[in-house]
Amino acid sequence: MTDTAVNGHDINSDTSTVDFDKSAISLTKLLGPEQIAALQQRMANHTAAAGHASTVGTIRLPTDATPSDAVPYEYERDDDGVYDQALAIPAQAQPERTPWRHQPYREPRPDAFLSWDHFKAAAADTFDTARNLGAWHAWRLPKYTWKFAALAALGGWTYGGRARHFLQAREYGDAIDQAVRAGVDAEQIAAMRAEHSDVRKARWSEKRTLAGMGLAGSYVAATVYLAVQYGLIAASPAGLLALGVLHLLGRREWRRRNPDEVLALLEAYQEKTSDRVVGAAEINEALRLAEVIGQEAEVEMYGPVRAVGPSASEAVFKLPGKATITTLEARREVIAKALNVDVTWLDFTKAGDPGEVKLWVSSEDPLAVVRESPLLKATGPIDVWGQGIPIGFNRRGEIIYLRLRHVMALIGGMSRTGKGMLLRSIICGLALDPRINIRLVVGAKPGEHRTYGPACATFFGRRPDRLELLMEAIKAEAQRREDYLETVGRAKLTEADLQAFPLEIVIIDEAQLYLEKPAGGKLPRVVSMLEDLAGWAAALNIVILVSTQDPDSDTIPRKFRNNAGVAIATRTKTAAQTNAILGDGATGNGLRAHDIPDGMGGQMITNFDGAKGERARSCFIEDEKFDGALPIIDLAMVLRTAANRAPGQFRDRIEEFMLERTGESSVAGGPTGSGRPGIPAGGLGILGLMLAAFEHKRNPERMATGELLALLAEADEPSWGPAAFDAEPEGEDDQAAAAGLYVTRGGKALSQKIAAHLDGTGRSLSTRGWQKPVRANGYYLADIKAAAGIA
Ligand SMILES: Nc1ncnc2c1ncn2[C@@H]1O[C@H](COP(=O)(O)OP(=O)(O)OP(=O)(O)O)[C@@H](O)[C@H]1O
Tell me whether residue 595 is in a domain.
Answer: no
Residue nearest to atom 8 of ligand 1 (CA): 602
Write the CA distances from 579 to 102, 276, 333, 562, integer angstroms: 40, 34, 22, 12
Instruction: Look at residue 543 in the predicted model and tell me its pLDDT.
Output: 96
Are both 525 and 636 inside the same structural domain?
A: yes
Residue nearest to atom 16 of ligand 1 (CA): 418
Instruction: Look at residue 555 in the predicted model and tell me its pLDDT.
Output: 79
Q: Is the torsion defined by CA of 214, 217, 220, 222 positive or negative?
A: negative
3-state SS assignment for residue 757? helix
Verify whether ligand 1 is closer than 6 Å to residue 549 (CB atom): yes
CA neighbor of 530 nearest in space, from 498, 510, 491, 556: 556
Mean pLDDT score, 254-271: 64
Q: Would you place residue 266 in the very low, low, confident or very high pLDDT band (cuts 50, 70, 90)?
A: low
User: CA 81, CA 67: separation in Å to the nearest integer?
Assistant: 28
Residue nearest to atom 5 of ligand 1 (CA): 601
CA 311 to ligand 1 centroid distance, Å: 26
Tell me whether residue 663 is in a domain.
Answer: no
Q: What is the CATH number of the domain that holds 326?
A: 3.30.980
Are both 356 and 475 inside the same structural domain?
A: no
Write the CA distances from 284 to 99, 281, 287, 298, 334, integer angstroms: 63, 5, 5, 6, 13
Chain mean pLDDT for the chain: 80
Does ipTM exceed 0.85? yes
Tell me the per-residue pLDDT of 616-635, one tens digit each, with 9 for 90 and over. Answer: 999 999 988 889 999 999 99
Residue nearest to atom 10 of ligand 1 (CA): 601
Verify whether ligand 1 is closer than 6 Å to residue 533 (CB atom): no
Tell me whether residue 677 is in a domain.
Answer: no
B/e letters for 608-633, b = 16+ CB within 10 Å, e = fewer, are: beeeebbbbbbbbbeeeeebbbbbbb
Are both 410 and 475 inside the same structural domain?
A: yes
Are both 510 and 457 inside the same structural domain?
A: yes
Verify whether ligand 1 is closer than 6 Å to residue 671 (CB atom): no
Verify whether ligand 1 is closer than 6 Å to residue 550 (CB atom): no
Instruction: Look at residue 280 in the predicted model and tell me its pLDDT.
Output: 81
Verify whether ligand 1 is closer than 6 Å to residue 355 (CB atom): no
Chain-centroid distance of CA 101 in Å reads 25
Tell me whether residue 564 is in a domain.
Answer: yes
Instruction: Look at residue 268 in the predicted model and tell me its pLDDT.
Output: 56
Are both 530 and 634 inside the same structural domain?
A: yes
Q: What is the CATH number of the domain that holds 499?
A: 3.40.50.300
Alpha-helical regions (H) of 652-734 = 653-662, 685-696, 705-715
Answer whether residue 319 shows pLDDT above 60: yes
Residue nearest to atom 12 of ligand 1 (CA): 601
For the ranges 44-53, 359-368, 404-413, the lowest mean pLDDT is seen at 44-53
Are both 396 and 515 inside the same structural domain?
A: yes
Bridge partners of 399, per DSSP, are 393
Mean pLDDT score, 329-353: 86
For the ranges 76-90, 145-159, 599-613, the lowest mean pLDDT is seen at 76-90
Residue 508 · residue 526 · CB < 8 Å: no
> Three-class SS string for 191-206?
HHHHHHHHHHHHHHCC
Which segments are annotated as binding site for ATP?
Answer: 413-420
Q: Would you place residue 89 in the very low, low, confident or very high pLDDT band (cuts 50, 70, 90)?
A: very low
Are both 452 and 530 inside the same structural domain?
A: yes
Q: Would you place residue 757 in the very low, low, confident or very high pLDDT band (cuts 50, 70, 90)?
A: confident
Residue nearest to atom 25 of ligand 1 (CA): 415
User: CA 511, CA 617: separation in Å to the nearest integer?
Assistant: 22
Answer whether residue 335 shows pLDDT above 60: yes
Mean pLDDT score, 402-408: 92
Are both 214 and 281 inside the same structural domain?
A: no
Tell me the per-residue pLDDT of 200-246, one tens digit each, with 9 for 90 and over. Answer: 999 898 898 899 899 999 999 999 999 998 988 888 899 899 999 99
Are both 152 and 230 inside the same structural domain?
A: yes
Are both 390 and 297 inside the same structural domain?
A: no
Are both 26 and 158 inside the same structural domain?
A: no
Answer whether residue 742 shows pLDDT above 60: yes
Instruction: Look at residue 128 in the predicted model and tell me its pLDDT.
Output: 80
Write the CA distances from 15 to 42, 263, 638, 664, 667, integer angstroms: 11, 61, 11, 34, 26
Are both 357 and 393 inside the same structural domain?
A: no
Tell me whether residue 248 is in a domain.
Answer: yes
Tell me the per-residue pLDDT of 554-564, one tens digit each, with 9 for 90 and over. Answer: 778 888 988 89
Verify whether ligand 1 is closer than 6 Å to residue 547 (CB atom): no
Instruction: Look at residue 720 in the predicted model and tell me its pLDDT.
Output: 83
Tell me whether residue 676 is in a domain.
Answer: no
Which segments are annotated as binding site?
Answer: 413-420
Mean pLDDT score, 457-477: 93
Q: What percent of the chain has pLDDT over 70?
A: 82
User: CA 143, CA 667: separation in Å to the nearest integer?
Assistant: 63
Tell me whether residue 334 is in a domain.
Answer: yes
For the ranges 265-269, 430-434, 475-479, 529-533, the lowest mean pLDDT is seen at 265-269
Domain boundary among 298, 328, 362: 362
How many domains in the chain? 5
Verify whether ligand 1 is closer than 6 Å to residue 587 (CB atom): no
Which atom of ligand 1 is least distant from the CA of 448?
A: 27
Tell me the per-residue pLDDT of 24-65, one tens digit each, with 9 for 90 and over. Answer: 445 555 556 666 676 566 555 444 333 333 333 333 333 443
For the ranges 102-111, 415-424, 547-556, 731-740, the lowest mean pLDDT is seen at 102-111
Structural domain of 390: 374-568+630-642
Tell me whether residue 616 is in a domain.
Answer: no
Residue 746 · residue 720 · CB < 8 Å: yes
For the ranges 353-367, 578-592, 675-689, the lowest mean pLDDT is seen at 675-689
pTM assigned to the model = 0.57
Q: Would you place residue 143 in the very low, low, confident or very high pLDDT band (cuts 50, 70, 90)?
A: confident
